[in-house]
Amino acid sequence: MELKGRDIISIKDFTREEVDHILKTAGKVDHILGENLRPLSGKFMGLLFFEPSTRTRLSFEAAMKRMGGGVIGFSEPAVSSVKKGETLADTVRTVENYADILVIRHPLEGSAKLAADFASIPVINAGSGAEEHPTQAFLDLYTIFKEKGSVDGLNIGILGDLRYGRTVHSLTYALSLYDVNLYLVSPPELRIRKEVLQAVRNRLRVKEFSRIEDVMPELDVLYVTRIQRERFPDPGEYERIKGAYRIDKAALEKAKEDLIVMHPLPRVDEIQPEVDETKHALYFKQVRYGLITRMALLGLVLGAF
């Protein structure tokens, strides 16, 4: 299998076989993480972040640098030529001269695809609009794979804002490559979009719920996301429901012994701090798995593995 030179724009562009190969490569990186790795020495990443994001930016930077590579770029458009009216296509055709791979985050859907069309070097989508965040999906899969030994056969719940979260969309598409039972739990206002559901219905067994307590005992994995107040036209409605989508120790009482709780972070209060010390809490370890997964992806795309 050859991933060298590939763009990573959408999780939908990858076959099950390719995803498995990526997870297996991440597993190898996991074993040598502490070492002074330099397979990407002399290679450079161009970071084009048109939207702020500490977590994703630092994760990509750390991944590149921990492989011996270098990073250049910008992390907010105010400091860039965009202010002078430059098009995305021109920015891409400029920065690609300085780098061996581009990582782009942009508020508009389709932006990463556009960048890839113009670039002559590989492009990784680090979040484009509300639609896709493929490397987050890869790291989520790797987290499940690593902790559970396999993704197939699991009962996986996703809780929170399923309508607007790009993480949720990418993860749902990713899970549709596997044999899983998917439990979607959200307020009625924030149900997953019909087109996402239709695209995965044939391959995933999906059930939708409004209350987490109805499915908690079944779950092997609970993936929590934020519910944002501004999604509700009526603030009173938000206040009424928010407690039902907050995970605390009490909510976990009926969970399986080995349930893992994941979260793309940052969280606000949808997972209470008291959960951090339980054996279920996996969200900080998930950050480490994110670093590992991105190291694997960079290594594969740049031909180091």
Tell me: does residue 83 bind a second copy (CB under 8 A). Answer: yes
* β-bridge mates for residue 223, sequence order: 158, 262
Instruction: Find out whether the peptide bond into 266 is cis, omega within 30 degrees of 0.
Output: yes
Please indicate whether residue 87 is annotated as part of the active site. no
Residue of the chain from 90, 109, 152, 214 that contacts a second copy (CB under 8 A)? 90
Residues 19-58 that bind a second copy (CB under 8 A): 35-37, 41-42, 44, 46, 52-55, 58
Please indicate whether residue 84 is annotated as part of the active site. yes
CA separation for the pair 265, 180 (Å, rounded): 24
Tell me: does residue 135 bind a second copy (CB under 8 A). Answer: no
Tell me: does residue 272 bind a second copy (CB under 8 A). Answer: no
Q: Which is nearer to a second copy, 21 or 57 (CB)?
A: 57
Please indicate whether residue 16 is annotated as part of the active site. no
Q: Which two tokens stand for residue 7?
A: 């763009």
Q: Which is nearer to a second copy, 53 or 210 (CB)?
A: 53
Please indicate whether residue 6 is annotated as part of the active site. no
Burial (CB < 10 A; 0-12, 13-18, 19+), residue 119, is buried
Q: Which is nearer to a second copy, 86 or 253 (CB)?
A: 86
* β-bridge mates for residue 262, sequence order: 223
CA separation for the pair 28, 179 (Å, rounded): 24
CA separation for the pair 92, 155 (Å, rounded): 41
Residue of the chain from 259, 291, 298, 302 that contacts a second copy (CB under 8 A)? 291
CA separation for the pair 246, 51 (Å, rounded): 28
Which residues are near a second copy by CB under 8 A? 35-37, 41-42, 44, 46, 52-55, 58-59, 61-62, 65-66, 70, 72-76, 78-86, 89-91, 93-95, 97-99, 265-268, 273, 284, 287-288, 290-291
